[in-house]
Every structure is written in C-alpha cells, then in structure tokens.
Structure 1
Amino acid sequence: MLLLRRHLLPLLRAATQLPSPTHHRACLLSASASASSSASAAPFCLEEYLVAACGLAPAQARKTAKKAVDQASKDGNKKAFGELRWSRLNSASNPNAVLALLSGVGLSGADIAAVVAADPLLLRSSVKNVSPRLLALRDCLGLSAPQIVRFLLVGSRALRCCDIVPRLEFFISLFGSFERLLVIMKKSNSFLLSNFERVIEPNIALLCQCGLSVRDIAQLCSRNPWLLTYSPERIKEFLLRAEELGVPRSSRMFKKAVSVVADITKEKAAHKLKFLKSTLGCSESEAAIAVSMTPTILPLSEELLLRKIQFFIKEVGMEPQYIVERPVLLTQSLEKRLVPRHCVMKVLQAKGLLNSKMGFFTFVKIGEKTFKLKYIDCHKESVPGLADAYAAAIAGVVPSGIKFKHLKIFQSFLFDGVSATHAH
C-alpha cells in the first residue's frame, strides 16, 4: 500500500475535458483573424489537410475528418472554451505544430498518419500542453519511438487531456510492465483519465481493506480495467455482492467474485441460480454453494451451460449431483478441452492404456502441458496418429453440438491418420 500511495501522491492533477465542436462539418472554415485579414484567403479543410500533410488516402481522410467531428461532439464542454479548442483546427498552424512535435520524438510519416487516423483531435490539442508530455514519454519514461506510437494508438486522448507520465508510471508499476499496460489499455483506457484523489486511490484502498494484495488488484483490473473508474460507493456495492454470493473475503476466489458481480447485474445472477437449480435438479442452497465455489460460471450463457451439462450427462455419463459438487467443470471450454480430452480418454481406455476407473474430472483438470506429455506424447508408438487427432479436435474438426458423435469421428480421423502413416 505504501508503494501504491507513493506513486499515487503525484497524481492529483485533474484531467481537463475536451469541448464539443461549435458546428458539425468535416471541412472547417477559418474565421477572420482580424479585420485586416484577406477576404480572399482560402478556407482550411481538414479532409484536404489530412491528405496533403499527413499522407492519408482520400477515403481514409474523409473517414478521419468525420471521426474528428464525431469525437468532438462527445468530448464535453461547449461555449467559449469549446470554441477556443475547435479554433485550433481552423487553420494549418496548430496541426503543423503538432505534426512537428510527433516528428521530433522520432515518429515516421507512416507512424504519424496512423496516430492521426486513430485520434484526429490530437491535431487540435494545445501544443503548449502536449509538447512537454510527449517529450516526457521519451525522456522520463524512456520509451522508444515504436513504443510511443503504440501508446498513442490507444492512449492519445490521455496525452492531450492530462499530465500523463505520472499516471503511466503508476500503472506500469501496478501491472508490471509497459507492454502489459498496453494490452489492458486496448480493452479500456478510461482509468488513465480518472481522478486519482477522488476515485482511483479510494478504490484501491477499499480493495486492500478486503485483503486483496497489489497482485490481486492488478489481476482484477487486468480483466476489468474499467473497475477502478467506478465511484467508491459502487465498489463497496460490488464487494458486498461478492460476499452475498457466499465467497468470503479471505477466499482466493474473492477477487474473481468481485470481477463477476462487476459484469453481471444482481437480477441476472439470481436468474442464473434458478437456471442451474432447474437444469441440474439440485436445491437452491446446492446451486448457491456451487456458485460460491466457482463464481465464474455466472457470466456464462444458459445455452453454453446447457450444452456442457448435456455433454457431461449424456456423453460422459456423469450424475447431475457430481457436476454440482464440481462446478469448475462448467468453466472449461467444450471445444478446446472437454470434447478432445474425452476422445483421448475413451481411445486410451479401449486400448487398455488407461485405468478404466479413472474419472473424467481428473482427466480434465490436468494442465495442458502435463496432459500432452503424459497422455499424448508417451503413446506416439502405441497409438500412431493420436497427437494429430487430438490437435485436429482442438482446432475444431470434431463437432460439439447437442448430439455428440465426436468419438466416432475422432476415431475415424485417428484410423485414417494411421493408414496414411503406414502408406508412407
């Protein structure tokens, strides 16, 4: 917590919101700078500028110019401040200065074109504000030109709205690396713009009070990067709902429960419990216990849960109660794990290479690397073609509909593979 607070303290600057445009035209006419301005001065057209100065193709420039108007209309305040911001796109002066800044930190023409296409409003940003922030990405954070490009493609709005470097330093520290941060920003970068004093810091404090470590918080926010942007009152609600699922704060599943309730309403969670109860023929308390053991089954669709349950009962031969007591089974991929491994299990048992009493649950929960080493690779000689058949099943060659004929098709693929091997 001390580490987090040390990084958070410098981050108390409020983000400035961008204004909305005063008109909705992609081609922006410049106003007279003074009474002495030439009446015959050519109007400034953003679309034409994007082609001539940024190197965008005409069709892309047209799309980008429209995007600038659409973005500006969503970005906030109106009146005089908005007019001031929008006026920076009434001539080539401000855009030229922005392009010079981007070139100055090492971006190529192609890089600049990509960045401007991703965020055309960067061209109207304040050079006075953006210049030191852009230089700090290179000089303070030590980012290379390619890294700056990758950041701008997903986070240029933060660059033009706030003092971004201290925020990046904090989140790089939280998530472990700049590369990891970029992956998370592609899901959502709103956390970069949130107020640290009123939102981010209190939310982190609340999560820490629940016993979550810095690593837990990082993992939680990696899955739900927008979580920290909610109000502290909303976070308290999520924490309470996670406990109401029967997951204690001391449980290692608590952070997953928080992640789940942040994505699903209380009403949908209750409906899913009723579905599990009716489909598996268990009591309400048993369904609730199953969810408390594996809260990640709640966001799964009823259709997908039904397909998995039918597979376990009709194909594997499991009793519904067995599934209720091992709900983690329902979180496994039907196509990538359950069906292919069931095929391998039945083939090995048929050839006497696997104990017939071995349960499918044991077979499923083994990690992929260990599974392939123990049940695929070591049987290359005794079951030729097994590795290819397993790989094909994972790739989707084996169907996984409601009626499972996967084993017959798997065996057919396997025997064809054996024949082909012998033919060579």
Structure 2
Amino acid sequence: MLLLRSHLLPLHRAASALPSPIYHRAWLLSTSTSASTAPFSLEDYLVAACGLHPAQALKTAKKAFDQASKHCNKRAFEEICWSRLKSASNPDAVIALLSGVGLSSADIAKVVVTDPLLLRASPKNIGPRLHALRDRLGLPTPQIARFLGVGSRALRTCDVGPKLEFFISFFGSFEQLLAIIKKSDRILQVDVERVIKPNIALLRQWGLSVRDIAQVCSQNSWLLTYRLDHVKELLLRAEELGVPRSSRMFKYAVSVVSNITKEKAASKLKFLKSTLGCSESEIAIAVPKIPSILALSEELLLRKIQFLIKEVGMKPQHIVERPVLLAHSLEKRLVPRHCVMKFLQAKGLLSSKMGFYSLAQIGEKTFKLKYIDSHKDSVPGLADAYAAASAGVVPSGINFEHLKIFQSFLFDGASATHAH
C-alpha cells in the first residue's frame, strides 16, 4: 500500500497542474512492479478493443473517471483504479460476455460509450444477469443491446432480470418499459417487493386501476419509487384539488401533484384566479375538470388565455367554464383551427354561429375530414395551409395577424398549384 500511495501521490500532484483531459488519462495508467510491463491505459484500450476514435475514447475515459470519482471515496477510488482496470483482463472478460449474448462489435462500442464503468463490473455478477436476459426473459439480441444502452447501470448493481420481467408485464411491453427507463432508470434500482408492489397496492386502494397506475407512471415512474408515506401524501394532495377518487380525472391529478410541489400548485391557482378574474370557488370548479393545466407554466397559460380573449374573442368567464381549452396546444391546435374557422366563415362555408370551443374539441381525424377534406375542391390549398399552420409556420405569439398570414399562404399555395 505504501508503494501504491508513493506512486499515486506524485501522479495526483502532477495531474492537478495539468488540463483536465490529461489528468483523466493519467489516473487510468498503472505501473507494474516490473519495469518491463507496459502501463495499461483505458483510453488506448477503448481504441484498440472497442474501435473508438481517439477523441471519443478520451471523452469516454474522462466519463469513466467522472462517474467513478462521483460515487467513491478516495480509498474505494484507488481500489477501482487498481483492481479491475490495472490490465485488460477484466474489460476483456466483460466484452466477451457481451459478445456471448450476441452483441456485435458496434453494439458493444455503443454500450461502453454510454457506460464505460461496465468494463470494471464483476464478470461473476453480470454474467448470469446477461444470460438471464436472453434465457429467462427471452429477449432477442437487438432488445438486449437496446436495454443495455439505457439500463447497464442497473445490470452492474443488481439482479435486473426479475425486475424487467415484472415491469414488462406491468407496463405491457418491452418497448414501453424501455421508453420509461430512457427517462429514468430509478425503478430498476429499488426493491420490487419492498417498495414497488406496496406503492401499487396503495394506489389501487385509492381507486386507481392497474391500467391507470401504469399510465400515470409511464410519465412519472419515480412515483413508484417513493416511500409509502410520501405516496399517500401525494394522493391526499390530489384529493385536495377537489378531484374525488371516483373521478376519471383523479389519475391526472395524481400525475400533476407528483410533478409539482404544493407551493407551486398554490401559486398556479392564484395565477389563474388573478389572470382570469375569477373567484376561488370558480377555480375550485375549473381545476378538477382538467387538473393537468396546473402542470403548465404561467407563461404558456398566459399566452393561451390572451389568445382566447384577444384573438378568439372569448370572455374570461367562458374560459373558466371550459378550462380544457387551456390544455390544448396553442401552436398545433388552437391557432390553426381558429384560422380555419375564420377563413371558412369569411368564405361563407361555415356558419357564423359556429363557436370556437366546439371546433377546438373535435378530434383531429374528424376535424380534418369535416372541415378540411370536404372543402378540397372549393378551396384547393386549404389542406396545405392547415398543415403549415399546424407545423408552426403561422406564428403563435399574441397580437399577430395570423388569419392574413394563413390566407396569404393559402392563396399563394393555390396560385402555385394552378400555375403548375
């Protein structure tokens, strides 16, 4: 150990005076007690064994250093440097295991770039876990490669097979689970029996079905990883919003409160009250209809409210009574549909009594069929103009002449079509 420290100390002192990339490479070099043995460099190994470009290898080696030093004390850090990365032996064994379950050289390179610390994992630990993915879960090689691209840390730290088996069944498919893990792999880090299942049981006691829970946790998977008392606190907060457990909106209320603090929710309620000029009782009626509006930023809510009042001509009271309008996309739904409505009314193709709320609530497929496709002969460029507006060509700010821009696009497009 004295020899080890006498070697590391000058290395550390020298590295502290050098640019960080050089320091990150320095820690990966080990000198054998035999002067004839060449030092091992992870950076060089990544180039030679994994086929990485030198610049990419340097970046990956630096990433390995950052990951290791972040989670280890000095003594453990020394052990990492010298126990499993003192030679190519451990990395070779890990690569052999990855290759053994069918991963190609390109797949292995991607996994290593994502999680270079996998190369120092214990082959005795990850070997059975890797084979379980193939033999127990029946995952084909492409799915194993894709999982390792986002879940290799879990493979290093725990027996991930039973957890994957549970969550694939719970969320309905491997693809759905993979999408969730890409956002956060925390659900693979906690104990299913002690944490996940009790939380699911509690959510079910509060009226949520397994399907509801899976839907909510597809966007907020961390909800399943909280302490049981914290989950109960969130359920109480959802109920305090005025959404009863029996309501189909309750799952959305749970999703909202799991994303924002109690203080932020109160601030958002106050903002809506002042911006719309309504009473607390009116807000108390509006929010339970569409709890998700509390998850929107005040800036976005303000833009939508101003659009509905200044451009559409709605009264604040009407918005309070129809809060679902605030949940629709301003750019992709509200503005384009308002353009279509005003244009068709100006052309005499739509009754002037048609309200914007009714038009905004129609499903996209039905809307296009009834108000776009049905006018393709009389207004040839309408479909293109609507598509452009939905794609954001029509500005989404406040106080813009969106109808004129929409008409200009429509007429220009029609002229170009006829000229062609």
- Asked if Structure 1 and Structure 2 have the same fold, meaning a TM-score greater than 0.5 normalized by the shorter chain, the answer is yes
Query: 2:6 maps to what in 1?
Result: none
- Residue correspondences, number: 399
Query: 2:96 maps to what in 1?
Result: 100
Contact 2:286 2:322 in 1 (8 A): yes
Query: 1:234 maps to what in 2?
Result: 230
For 2:195, the aligned partner's letter is V
1:264 to 260, 266, 291: 260
Matched, 1:364 2:360: yes
Query: 2:325 maps to what in 1?
Result: 329
Aligned-pair CA distance for 1:255: 1.0
Query: 1:53 maps to what in 2?
Result: 49
Contact 1:309 1:330 in 2 (8 A): yes
Contact 2:31 2:37 in 1 (8 A): no
1:202 to 198, 202, 210: 198
Matched, 1:28 2:24: no
Q: 2:402, 2:192 → 1: CA distance? A: 53
Query: Greater relative contact order: 1 or 2 (C-alpha under 8 angstroms, separation 6 or more)?
Result: 1
For 1:98, the aligned partner's letter is V
Q: 1:235, 1:399 → 2: CA distance? A: 41
Q: 1:169, 1:78 → 2: CA distance? A: 37
Q: 1:161, 1:204 → 2: CA distance? A: 24
Aligned-pair CA distance for 1:96: 0.4
Contact 1:311 1:404 in 2 (8 A): no
For 1:234, the aligned partner's letter is H
Aligned-pair CA distance for 1:85: 8.3
Contact 1:47 1:62 in 2 (8 A): yes
User: Kindly tell me: are residues 286 and 341 of structure 1, through their superposed partners in 2, closer, same or farther at Cα, counting changes over 3 Å?
Assistant: same
Matched, 1:121 2:117: yes
Q: Give the alignment of 1:10-409 within 5 angstroms.
A: 25-26=24-25, 27-30=27-30, 38-75=34-71, 79=75, 83=79, 87-409=83-405
User: Kindly tell me: are residues 188 and 158 of structure 1, through their superposed partners in 2, closer, same or farther at Cα, counting changes over 3 Å?
Assistant: same
2:415 to 398, 402, 419: 419
- When normalised by structure 2's length, the TM-score is 0.91
- When normalised by structure 1's length, the TM-score is 0.90
Deviations 1:161-188 (A, max 9, x none): 1111110010000111111111111111
Deviations 1:250-283 (A, max 9, x none): 1111111111111111111111111111111100
User: Kindly tell me: are residues 381 and 348 of structure 1, through their superposed partners in 2, closer, same or farther at Cα, counting changes over 3 Å?
Assistant: same
Contact 2:69 2:77 in 1 (8 A): no
Q: 1:359, 1:188 → 2: CA distance? A: 43
Query: 1:8 maps to what in 2?
Result: none
Q: Aligned with 2:259: secondary structure?
A: coil
Deviations 1:29-61 (A, max 9, x none): 4475xxxx5243222111111111111111111
Q: 1:324, 1:104 → 2: CA distance? A: 61
Q: 2:366, 2:72 → 1: CA distance? A: 53
Q: Aligned with 1:305: secondary structure?
A: helix
Runs (4+) off by over 2 Å: 22-32, 37-40, 73-86
Unaligned 5+ segments in structure 2 are 1-8, 13-22
User: Kindly tell me: are residues 80 and 352 of structure 1, through their superposed partners in 2, closer, same or farther at Cα, counting changes over 3 Å?
Assistant: closer
For 1:285, the aligned partner's letter is S
Contact 1:385 1:414 in 2 (8 A): yes
Q: 1:77, 1:358 → 2: CA distance? A: 68
| Range 289-298 or range 240-249, more displaced | 289-298
For 2:63, the aligned partner's letter is K
Q: 1:47, 1:276 → 2: CA distance? A: 55
Q: Aligned with 1:226: secondary structure?
A: helix
For 2:255, the aligned partner's letter is S
For 1:100, the aligned partner's letter is A
Q: 2:82, 2:322 → 1: CA distance? A: 59
Deviations 1:74-104 (A, max 9, x none): 3357756982686111211110000111111
Contact 2:28 2:81 in 1 (8 A): no
Contact 2:394 2:405 in 1 (8 A): yes
Deviations 1:282-336 (A, max 9, x none): 0012112211211111121111111111111111111100000111100111110
Q: 1:345, 1:322 → 2: CA distance? A: 18
Contact 1:85 1:125 in 2 (8 A): no
